[in-house]
A and B are shown apart, each in its own frame.
Chain A
Amino acid sequence: GNSVTQMEGPVTLSEEAFLTINCTYTATGYPSLFWYVQYPGEGLQLLLKATKADDKGSNKGFEATYRKETTSFHLEKGSVQVSDSAVYFCALSDAKGAQKLVFGQGTRLTINP
């Protein structure tokens, strides 16, 4: 079945550092790929998405590129802020419908000032 594997956390960085959170997937067909963010005490929010190979999703300085050849969708940001501290989830959609998502286990990110 479909699955998503994220780099294990927690990840702790200093403000203005470069961020990479690795995500690889296993899927049949051509799923869409997503990054969701969960701030403390809140629900998940869509951060960015890509729907086909070589697409780049971007939002709030975060980027991720859909790499079919390596089945990856790594999240990057050039300069993180304290406000980026949260749990990040990589996810893919079932090919039958975008609403049925398969999530990775999440990566907790802490940014120190």
Chain B
Amino acid sequence: DAGVTQSPTHLIKTRGQQVTLRCSPKSGHDTVSWYQQALGQGPQFIFQYYEEEERQRGNFPDRFSGHQFPNYSSELNVNALLLGDSALYLCASSLGWTSYNSPLHFGNGTRLTVT
């Protein structure tokens, strides 16, 4: 049973560019959340997708956008990259977006470096 898979594992971009990160949820899960983890910090919630709609959003600017596909996979897009966007981006999946009994399953993340 495949867990949460993310691609690519590492990415280097230049300031001002745009980037797309991808996530496939664990089999049977229908909800995807994205988190940003800066070096030495805890993850911060970016947003969550369920039924192809953004359901909740954290305190991130509009440069961060996402999408969920009918097969439940998801993309995170970041426009006009800043040096401060360098971080580990984690995808997490679960069953249902309001179920308190469905724990999050995290992928290993995509390490984004902006130069």
Real binding pair = yes
Chain B: interface residue count, which band? 20 to 34
Is B42 in contact with A103, judged by CB distance below 8 angstroms?
yes
Which chain A positions have C-beta within 8 A of B94? 98-99
> Secondary structure at chain B's binding surface: helix, strand, loop or mixed?
loop
Is A100 in contact with B100, judged by CB distance below 8 angstroms?
no
Q: Smallest CB–CB gap between A51 and chain B, Å?
A: 6
Which residue of A is nearest B98, CB measured? A97
Is B33 in contact with A32, judged by CB distance below 8 angstroms?
no
Residue A44, interface by CB 8 Å: yes
Contact with A97, one of B58, B97, B107 (Cβ below 8 angstroms)? B97
A interface residue numbers (CB < 8 A to B): 4, 32, 36, 41-46, 49, 51, 89, 91, 93-94, 96-106
Q: Smallest CB–CB gap between B37 and chain A, Å?
A: 8
Which chain A positions have C-beta within 8 A of B44? 103
Bound together, the chains give a CA A42 to CA B47 distance in angstroms of 21
